[in-house]
A and B are shown apart, each in its own frame.
Chain A
């Protein structure tokens, strides 16, 4: 997966300098692991789907900003971001709707398990994962959409300066 990123590190045509790229390359993996940890342990420690999703999205945003938009969009295209966005929201709602099978909307119908276990608290970890996907995709999509606009605006600024 990372071979094309390695190739890009010394390519000054896209993105920022190779110092930024090297540091970003090093930090990326840590950020993703941390985000996944925050999402998966959301029901035991502070954090959860939203916070973890934002962290994951920040990882992608870091990638896009330091390596340029072409590399960033190669990892997560805007089409896939939109699909993941809708899928995450749907997953969350489907978990809520499955509660109807046990009697009530958003009923926690799975076994609660032992406290402090990773697999406990019924549907709550699943909800966290769904929200994490949704937040990751939608924040990244917002970033991409605004960066497209940003180019339009900076074009105008350059026009005015000329």
Chain B
């Protein structure tokens, strides 16, 4: 398995181009083609979960000079999330994308996006990370505007401008780091930074990275593009953007850089916890008033990503006891995986409703459980999960994050005690608001009176229902099997993230 690690990006890249060539001969083939690639990738990523950490040298060049690919608990976990959600979205789009033209081009862009995200996750080199970040971003800009209608183009343009600023900021940060350390290899940069005091140049780099990756992750002051871009995209792409892209390009990148390159730091921790709390509050408050189904879900994405950011922020804090920091970090990572599962389930359900009813306004729907029972059931399960109702998966991760903050408040002194308490209360309040918002959604879409014109609706096609059922089963399964998931997946990811020393040692060890 180790020798084939680069295939995670090489395979989707190659197939993206091959797909366009093959589609000139036969349009039908590209469906199976894209499905097959994603199935292979998902299989590989599941297998990666059981492989010990290792490094890979591209082209046989030794680390400080060549490109280093790194595999550890964290990257395996994120790879699994990306490729499994990608596979399910791909299955969903086989029927859904029939309403659009140019399906082979859609598959090409989809595979390019997956290649970029996988590349960001597996790389251990700053510039390589920037290149893959751009590949994934450019593919996603094009996918948001794929319908070429007014709203879609406008959303795509907004996303393009803000994404362009984010990429520029990240490149500026990388250029500054290179000028300070003279290397681009991430373990090497971390090694060099250990000999430097905190100075203005490092603070500038941190600011640039928080701005750049924050824009990609859409934490609140940088969130303006997300509520436009996510509803405008086709439903499987909304699921990919909301479920995976903002995590792989935003949260994963920021976690990797902050934990492994810069190390735990008071200031970054305070900033990230503050941004997380702000995202949670603003996102959920904006979400309550929305009438557009997918737009509401997009605002909830901002709010739920706040939980992840705040968990990572607590993990970065050097002043609380290591056990509590690790607990908060674990909650954040678990919520990342859970959010990918239930949010993509919700977006795919909304796509399924839209496919049959032709509207996204939730007040025009109603009583759909009588006509589309399976989609309604999966939508309900995912809603319960995102609101944090036991025994679904969202409950556990929210519980861990809230418990970590209350513990941090109990066992620390001075100012920070008050802040931790406030953050804990905000987390509880936001969970409550999310529940209200989703109960209202259920009431207006799934239950209530069935409008006359929907009397003859049928259930969505088979290939759209299957991914929904799998995702809903995952919501329940991860919730029930939480102790197992905790021991196998999360502990490895958390240990990998907290262990900066062995990351720096990759330089020597490989």
Contacts and interface: CB of A to CB of B under 8 A. Distances in A.
The answer to whether any beta carbons of A and B sit under 8 Å apart in the complex is yes
Interface in A23-70: none
B224 interface: no
Nearest to B20: A86
A100 interface: yes
6 tightest A-B contacts by CB? Answer: A105-B6, A106-B59, A86-B17, A89-B17, A104-B60, A93-B14
Given A105-B58, A105-B59, A106-B58, A96 B24 contact: no
Contact of A96 (B3, B10, B18, B21): B10
B14 A90 contact: yes
B21 A83 contact: yes
A111 interface: no
B17 A90 contact: yes
B135 interface: no
A82 B14 CA distance: 15
13 contacts: A82-B20, A83-B21, A86-B18, A86-B21, A89-B17, A93-B17, A97-B10, A99-B59, A100-B3, A104-B57, A106-B6, A106-B59, A108-B59
Interface of B: 3-4, 6, 10, 13-14, 17-18, 20-21, 24, 56-60
A108 B60 CA distance: 9
Contacts of B58: 104-106
A93 B111 CA distance: 15
Interface string A63-106: 00000000000000001001100110110011011011001111
Given A83-B24, A105-B10, A90 B18 contact: yes
Given A83-B21, A93-B13, A107 B3 contact: no
Nearest to A134: B17
Nearest to B108: A86
Contacts of A103: 60
A93 B21 contact: no
Contacts of A107: 59-60
A99 B24 CA distance: 29
Interface in A87-142: 87, 89-90, 93-94, 96-97, 99-100, 103-108
Contact of A97 (B14, B18, B24): B14
Contact of B21 (A90, A94, A104, A106): A90
Nearest to B6: A105
A82 B92 CA distance: 28
A89 B115 CA distance: 14
B21 A87 contact: yes
Contacts of B10: 93, 96-97, 105
Nearest to B14: A93
B252 to A, nearest CB: 22
A97 B4 CA distance: 10
A103 B3 CA distance: 8
A89 B111 CA distance: 14
A41 to B, nearest CB: 22
Given A90-B18, A93-B14, A107-B59, 18 more contacts: A79-B24, A86-B18, A86-B21, A87-B21, A89-B13, A89-B17, A90-B14, A90-B17, A93-B17, A96-B10, A97-B10, A97-B14, A99-B59, A104-B57, A104-B58, A104-B59, A105-B56, A106-B58
Contacts of A105: 6, 10, 56, 58-59
A63 B404 CA distance: 67
A93 B16 CA distance: 11
A89 B14 CA distance: 8
A79 B23 CA distance: 12
A79 B25 CA distance: 12
